A and B are shown apart, each in its own frame.
Chain A
Amino acid sequence: MDMRFSPEELAFRDEVREFIANNYPHELKGARRGEMSKEDILKWHRVLYKKGWVVPHWPVEYGGTGWTITQRYIWNEENARAETTPLLPFGLSMVGPVIYTFGNEEQKKRFLPGILSGDDWWCQGYSEPGSGSDLASLRTKAVREGDHYIVNGSKTWTTLAQHADWMFCLVRTDPDAKQQEGISFLLIDMKTPGITVRPIITMDGSHEVNEVFLEDVKVPAENLIGEENKGWTYAKFLLGNERSGIAGVARSKKAIERLKKLANAELLDGEPLMKTDEFSRKVAELEIDLSALEVTELRTLAAESKGRGPGPEASILKIKGTEIQQRITELAVEAVGNYALVEAPRLEVTGNEFVPGPEGSQGVAQDYFNMRKTSIYGGSNEIQHNIIAKMVLGL
């Protein structure tokens, strides 16, 4: 057992750290994704694409870097440390691996380049108004007519669909089969007639998610991934990938640093709040939780590098990771005190430009409200408990 990095790994760390320092678009520093334009969100992606580092987790033949799992871990850590814009997962981590694992040669040639370059923006057509935690109950249907499918239905909570060129979509192709067995995995061009995207504004004032309505949308049969009615297999494969990135340890470390800065600036009876027993203990508890999660994640990664997992244990990462992320934002609201009330501008909010309060306090309450989504999305935390109970404990 050894948790330390080797000299080679340390050299690698220095190399990527320097690369990020020299190449991260400086105008993006400190920007929040909720306030960024489409082009801004893609800037860092395009830099990494040019360097050949946009998909370290892919096999080399499709554009991966060939890094070890430890190197990938270091890479993520360094990105969080520098607070780079997180790359969008929809193409790179979700549909990309599905396409190179289950797609045919034609599909790989057609779709992978756009995913890598960032020219194609993808969104995820999974949830429906009636199908949240019970995803397999989805009702959007696709009927084969000649060399096309005709798709009808609606999807919801579709993140950043307002910018999307493509959607990977779960559709029901056999209404008579058992729930999981009649589902197919279709790639849909968002410019196809019959698609309407309606924004959903969340309580923090952001426009991240959307409803997508599909009315007699004609999708070429060649956009079907794998076999008809086998889509659930691909969907589950994708969800497994979604879960493994969800712990967010490195980014939470950075967020705790920011929290400490806030609590050091805030005074209570003339003393920094961070120096008070109540608050410093809460931050300490949070850091300890995060250390435990970090090592749990490293253990999962180590198992993965030996070809095992990520099994249902990945649900631990989702539950604990999101609890920690939420707790950090909760403590930031506490730290800021009265100024937590101030509303910071978001895309859809009134034209408020005056945002008083100490540095770093702007929008802390909105971040807290926004982060409540994390225990709901990607399989709610209740569902993750069910997965562990059933798959790990055998209950």
Chain B
Amino acid sequence: MDFSFTEEQTLLRNTVQSLLQDKYDFETRRKVSKTAEGWRPEIWAQFAELGLLAAPFSEEMGGLGGGAIENMIIMEEFGRHLVVEPYLETVVIAGGFLREGGTPAQQEAHIPGIIGGETIWTFAYAEPQGRYNLADLKTTAKKDGSGYTINGYKAVVIGAPWAQKLIVTARTSGGQRDRDGVSVFIVDKSAPGISTRDYPTVDGRRASEITFENVKVEADALIGQEGKGLPLVEKITDQAIAALSAEATGCMKELNTATVEYCKTRKQFGVPIGKFQVLQHRMVDMFMAYEQSVSMTYMVNLKLEEGDAERTKAAAGAKVQIGKAGRFVGQQAVQLHGGMGMTDELNVGHYFKRLTMIDTQFGNIDYQLKRYSEAA
């Protein structure tokens, strides 16, 4: 039993911290998210330079030989600074698909571009009718000569306006919600037949609706086995949940610190409002919600390599915990900051918004509760 970080891991955290302290203050983040682009390619280049984009890849793949814990450290620090750049989509998710399901040729073709910061990826999986069911797919990929032709529509693809490459789930056989028949493809966003419409998200990112109309891909675009992609998709989304959990704990940590600090200094009725017992207990509950979330985050990140049932329970459980804790901590941080908590100029509302959206990504509390109880 050991919950301590290695020297390398501590060093990684320090590296991320000092970069973000230097280059990712809240005002800059707020300004950037209001520009047309909505992100900073130059900060992405610095992530690459510092090796962050290489962290979870093995040394044979050109990475630093880390894994889930490295992702967790990076995502937690990103959460503290509300980083909008698509580390989750590019490194955790696309990197995950390539690492876990890619052929050596696919890994060789694509991982260097991720590590070097040259290629942004995103994950086009959700569809309007599917809610959180990863198998509910109307998008199809039909065998076409040696390759496939993809037709369909993907909803709320986060980071897509910034991406060159897409990981796309599509049905190669079976009924609309069958577990069998799901396949995973690598698709160039610039491929003929793809059209996108972009828009901002409420947490300061960008997303797209993507239409696929007779989009042709070669056989080597398929990740894993045709029609057998769902277990891989589930595994990778659980890795994404583990990373999101870490991001959420980073957000909560900042909110709790800010709230306690505010309640110590804000005076009403002649005393700091932190002297009122009802608010003290509230902040204790916020603190406990955070600590419980950290625990679940550690647990899920340590269990990503367990068997499917064990991993599913850990990921679903963590997602429920951070969903509930994120809502409580976010709402109460706003409440205790009073009117100030409602403003766009204070960071509190921005953490609250991000936490709210983390709950809606990859299955909210209800969805994951059900998933947990079915796996248990």
Contacts and interface: CB of A to CB of B under 8 A. Distances in A.
A338 interface: yes
A311 to B, nearest CB: 22
Interface in B130-145: 130-133, 136
A355 B155 contact: no
Interface stretch (B13-21, B284-292, B349-357): B349-357
B177 A349 contact: no
Contact of A356 (B155, B331, B357, B369): B155
Interface in A110-138: 127, 130-134, 137
Contacts of B203: 341
Contact of B353 (A266, A269, A369): A369
B40 interface: no
A147 interface: no
A25 interface: no
Contacts of A209: 339, 342
Contact of A343 (B36, B199, B334, B335): B199
Interface string B257-270: 00000000001110
Interface in A341-378: 341-343, 348-350, 352, 354-356, 358, 365-366, 368-369, 372-373, 375-377
Interface in B330-374: 331, 334-335, 338-339, 341-345, 349-350, 352-353, 356-357, 360-361, 364-367, 369-370
A228 to B, nearest CB: 25
Contact of B366 (A269, A279, A330): A279
Contacts of B130: 267
A340 B132 CA distance: 13
Contacts of A354: 197-199
Given A201-B343, A340-B356, 5 more contacts: A204-B202, A333-B356, A338-B360, A338-B361, A350-B200
Contact of B202 (A276, A342, A348): A342
B72 interface: no
25 contacts: A133-B269, A137-B269, A202-B342, A203-B343, A203-B353, A268-B367, A269-B136, A270-B176, A270-B177, A278-B369, A338-B131, A340-B202, A341-B201, A341-B202, A341-B207, A352-B200, A354-B197, A354-B198, A354-B199, A356-B209, A365-B202, A369-B356, A372-B335, A372-B342, A382-B278
A5 to B, nearest CB: 38
Interface residues of A, number: 56
Closest 8 CB pairs of A and B: A203-B349, A134-B268, A201-B344, A338-B156, A341-B201, A343-B200, A278-B366, A365-B202
B201 A342 contact: yes
A268 B344 contact: no
Interface residues of B, number: 56
Contact of A157 (B133, B177, B205, B339): B339
A358 B278 CA distance: 41
A20 to B, nearest CB: 32
B202 A343 contact: yes
B201 A376 contact: no
B131 A268 contact: yes
Interface of A: 127, 130-134, 137, 156-157, 200-205, 209, 266-270, 273, 276, 278-279, 330, 333-334, 337-343, 348-350, 352, 354-356, 358, 365-366, 368-369, 372-373, 375-377, 380-382, 385
A372 to B, nearest CB: 5
A201 B133 CA distance: 37
A131 B327 CA distance: 28
B65 interface: no
Nearest to A370: B342
A202 B342 CA distance: 5
B349 A376 contact: no
B113 interface: no
Given A133-B268, A340-B357, A375-B335, A268 B133 contact: yes
Nearest to B364: A334
B4 interface: no
A137 B345 contact: no
B156 A203 contact: no
A252 to B, nearest CB: 18
Contacts of A366: 202
Contacts of B155: 338-339, 356
Nearest to B363: A337
B23 interface: no
Given A334-B364, A343-B202, A356-B199, A372 B338 contact: no
A47 B126 CA distance: 47
Contacts of A340: 202, 356-357, 360
Contacts of B132: 268, 337-338
A275 B18 CA distance: 50
B129 interface: yes
